[in-house]
Amino acid sequence: MDTIKITTDILATIRAMNRAWTTGWHEAEFRQYIHENAVAIVPSEPGRLEGRDAYVAGWRGFALAATIHSWQESDHKVEIFAGGRCSVVTYFFTIDVMLGGVRQILRGQDMFFLAKEGKGWLVAADQYSPEPAVS
């Protein structure tokens, strides 16, 4: 198993998916990275988003309501499981965004579960968490 190639492919998938919503809303491109049975847990919605359509709709709502000035990811960690057929990816992010007329810098962390489908990787689960407040 070539873990370097797998890791490179997974990170390319994550970065391309994020570009599809942080550089304007590119729904068709974004959708191609999401598994049909994807689930997401986000702090802005009760419960969870279930299925590709709900997942895409959640990001569409944010992307269309926000003006994103910058997006940065850092400290990626990729763990590979099941002989290279699935992976967990975590990283930290900073987004400079205008939302509701207020410009804000938001920081947080993402954790994705990806599954290998055919020749590509699909996001099957996502948990986004804002950076905890420092007291």
Find where tokens 């709502």 sit: 61
What is the predicted pLDDT for the residue at 91?
97
Cα atoms in the Cβ-side hemisphere of radius 13 Å centred on 124: 12
pTM score of the predicted model: 0.91
Q: How confident is the model at residue 4 (pLDDT cuts 50, 70, 90)?
A: very high
The DSSP annotation for 95-130 comes to EEEEETTEEEEEEEEEEEEEEEETTEEEEEEEEEEE
Q: What percent of the chain has pLDDT over 70?
A: 98
Q: Per-residue pLDDT averaged across 108-125, rounded?
A: 95
CATH architecture, domain 3-130: Roll (3.10)
What is the predicted pLDDT for the residue at 135?
61
What is the predicted pLDDT for the residue at 1?
77
What is the predicted pLDDT for the residue at 46?
78
Each residue's pLDDT tens digit, 21-37: 999 999 999 999 999 99
Output DSSP code: residue 24: S
Each residue's pLDDT tens digit, 40-74: 988 777 788 999 999 999 999 899 999 999 999 99
Strands 49-50 and 34-41 turn out to be: antiparallel
